[in-house]
Structures are given as C-alpha cells and as structure tokens.
C-alpha cells in the first residue's frame, strides 16, 4: 500500500519554534511530500534543511497555501489571525501555535495525550495550547480521571526560550556582560533576567493576573473538558535557556496517594516519572531539554488538605510545549 504524502507549510519557519517544527517533522518521519517554509519578507530567501535537502523560505502571503494540506503556524497571534483563514480557504487544515484561536468555542484546543478526540470537531483550525498548560495537563489528566481534581495551585519556572530567539540571545549576552563587569540594558524583558527571576510573563490584566496566568486557567478547563476545576497560577521567568518547571499542588475529590499517582503516571502516554529523592533523582530543565517527554517527580502528599498531592513537572517548552505537540496533532489528523 502506497503511503499518502502531504504538502506541509510551516509558517514562521525561521523562528525558534518553526525550526523545531521542521526538525520534528523529519525526526518523526511525517509523510511530507513538499515542505513549504514561510516567513516574513525579511526572512524570505533563507534556507531550512529538511530530509537531506535545502528548502527556500518563501514570503508569507494570503496566496501561499495553494495545494497545502496542513499548515503549522508558529508566527504569533497577529499573523495567525491574518493568514490562518486564508490557509483554510485554500483547503489546508491549520494547526496554530499562537493564542489567536485557543478560546474560540469553534476551535478545538488539543493535547493529543489528553483530548485527541477533539481533533475530529475542527472546522479548518486546531489550536495548540500554551506551553506551560500543555505539560501540566499531560501530567494531570490521568490523575483527574482517577480521582477528579478540584483545585490546582501552580507556580511556574519558565525558561527564556518561551519568549523567543531574542530572549535566548539576551540571557546569553547579558550573562557574559555581567560576568565581565559590563552593563547590559534589558531589551526583551522589563528587568535583568541573568541571575534573576521575573514574576511577570505577558502583560498584566486588571485582575492582577498576567495573560500567561489566565491562559493556564482557561486552557486547562477547556482541554480537560471540566469548567469546575479551580486553577490558581503564578508564572515566573527564570534564567534558563530551555525547559519549563512547574510546582503543582493538586486537591482531589477522592483519595490519591503518592504511590497510586506514580503508578498512574508511569502508565500515562508522554510521561516519564523521575522520582527518587534519596538518590537526588528528580526532573530538571537539563533533563528535559531536547526531549519529548513530560517529566514528573517530587510526588508527595500535601498534609494540609484531605486529598492533596504536590508534584514537580518539567518539559522542554519548545519541543513538547510547542513543536512536538503541533506535529502530534497533525499525526492524529492524518490518522482520521
């Protein structure tokens, strides 16, 4: 039987997530016929490597999607709002990594390990959730199915790569400057990020929460298909290049012991349990960088409530938190 091949566009192909999408398509042997790398006029003419060949980046326009089957978007909400409808009109299915469509009731918000069934409901666009939400729900879904989650309190430790290539360069350049006793004025972040933590990701709202924190609240409920789950997040940027950490406190309706949680998580798709504190074994950013899994450790009882657990969750935000999740959605899509 001949395997069907697909014409795949990657919008934002020269950015950090777009490059990772191209790499992930190749590593997972996605059945690509033609790759169409797209970016702004500034990046048009550059080349990306895929499957042993070099592919020229084309300028993104409304007519870029002729004969495209699947379009992976990683160019930000404004670009997605402008060009995703054009891609759908041309006959492509869009998997969008931005925040543009995530809370649209007509658009499925999908983490394949959690709610792959929602893909079938798409009307041309499927949304990829926020990176910090993705890793949390991958770990919490099997626990929710077993004991029903009432409340989540999460504090994130998010790497600079979540803010893009400029942020990665800023951390590196700023660190070198400070170690050489030189000044380096912040450009991407409001404050120095080297040797510092900034409790501020995205803009603040009137409620005092940032948009990043509100994403974790609303996206978690939509993906888990349960509006009763209470979520209290605090998101923090830390001086790490790749990999988000999350300290997650969960209160359940039913009993959930640490032993039962470990057993459920070991069997859960996309999860790896690293939990042996006596041997200093627990997830770290360096554990997750470049890897596909969501790593969970420090699983322990919360003694302050009747049915509570604390967990430490780490994943590569560019990989599972963006590119891999999008490609996994595309894989499920073609299975349909």
Q: List, in order, residues 6 or more apart from 323 with CB less than 8 Å away.
A: 17, 20, 21, 23, 24, 74, 97
pLDDT tens across 175-207, in order?
999 999 999 999 999 999 999 999 999 999 999
Angle between helices 324-335 and 16-27 (to 10 degrees): 50
- Asked if residue 57 has pLDDT above 70, the reply is yes
Taken in order of first residue, the domains within the chain and their CATH numbers are 6-128+322-335 (3.40.50.720), 133-317 (3.30.360.10)
Q: Dump pLDDT digits (tens) for 131-168.
A: 999 999 999 999 999 999 999 999 999 999 999 999 99
Q: Which helix (H) or strand (E) holds 83?
A: helix 77-89
Q: Is 46 left (phi over 0), alpha (psi -120 to 50) or beta?
A: beta
On whether the CB atoms of residues 35 and 67 are closer than 8 A, the answer is no
Which residues are annotated as catalytic?
131, 244
In percent, the amount of the chain with pLDDT more than 70 equals: 99
Extract the tokens encoding 313: 């969750």
> How many helices and strands in the chain, by DSSP H and E?
9, 14
Q: Which pLDDT score, from 0 to 100, does residue 336 have?
A: 76
pTM of the model: 0.95
Residue owning tokens 């001086």: 239
CA distances from residue 202 to 110, 137, 162, 235, 254 in whole angstroms, order as listed = 22, 21, 11, 9, 35
pLDDT level of residue 2 (50, 70, 90 thresholds): low
What pLDDT sits at residue 331?
Answer: 98
Q: What is the mean pLDDT of the chain?
A: 97
């Amino acid at each position: 039987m001949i395997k069907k091949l697909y014409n795949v566009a990657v919008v934002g192909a020269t950015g950090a997530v777009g490059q990772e999408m191209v790499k992930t398509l190749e590593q997972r042997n996605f059945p690509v016929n033609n790759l169409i790398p797209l970016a702004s006029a500034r990046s048009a003419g550059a080349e990306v490597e895929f499957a042993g060949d070099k592919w020229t980046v084309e300028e993104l326009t409304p007519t870029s999607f002729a004969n495209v089957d699947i379009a992976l978007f990683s160019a930000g909400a404004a670009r997605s709002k402008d060009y995703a409808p054009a891609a759908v009109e041309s006959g492509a299915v869009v998997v969008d990594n931005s925040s543009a469509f995530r809370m649209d009731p007509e658009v499925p918000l999908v983490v394949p390990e959690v709610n792959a069934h929602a893909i079938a409901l798409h009307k041309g666009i499927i949304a990829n959730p926020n990176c910090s939400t993705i890793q949390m729900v991958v770990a919490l879904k099997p626990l929710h199915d077993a004991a029903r989650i009432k409340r989540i309190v999460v504090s994130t430790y998010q790497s600079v790569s979540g803010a893009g290539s400029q942020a990665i360069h800023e951390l590196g350049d700023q660190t070198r400057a400070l170690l050489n006793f030189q000044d380096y004025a912040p450009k991407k972040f409001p404050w120095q990020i080297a040797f510092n933590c900034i409790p501020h990701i995205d803009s603040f709202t009137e409620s005092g929460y940032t948009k990043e924190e509100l994403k974790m609240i609303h996206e978690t409920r939509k993906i888990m298909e349960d509006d009763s789950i209470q979520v209290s997040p605090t998101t923090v940027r830390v001086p790490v290049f790749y990999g988000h950490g999350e300290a997650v406190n969960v209160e359940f309706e039913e009993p959930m012991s640490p032993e039962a949680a470990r057993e459920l998580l070991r069997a859960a798709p996309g999860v790896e349990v690293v939990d042996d504190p006596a041997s200093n074994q627990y997830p770290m950013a360096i554990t997750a960088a470049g890897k596909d899994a969501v790593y969970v450790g420090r699983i322990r009882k919360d003694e302050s409530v009747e049915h509570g657990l604390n967990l430490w969750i780490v994943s590569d935000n560019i990989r599972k938190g963006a590119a891999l999740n999008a490609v996994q959605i595309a894989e499920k899509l073609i299975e349909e």
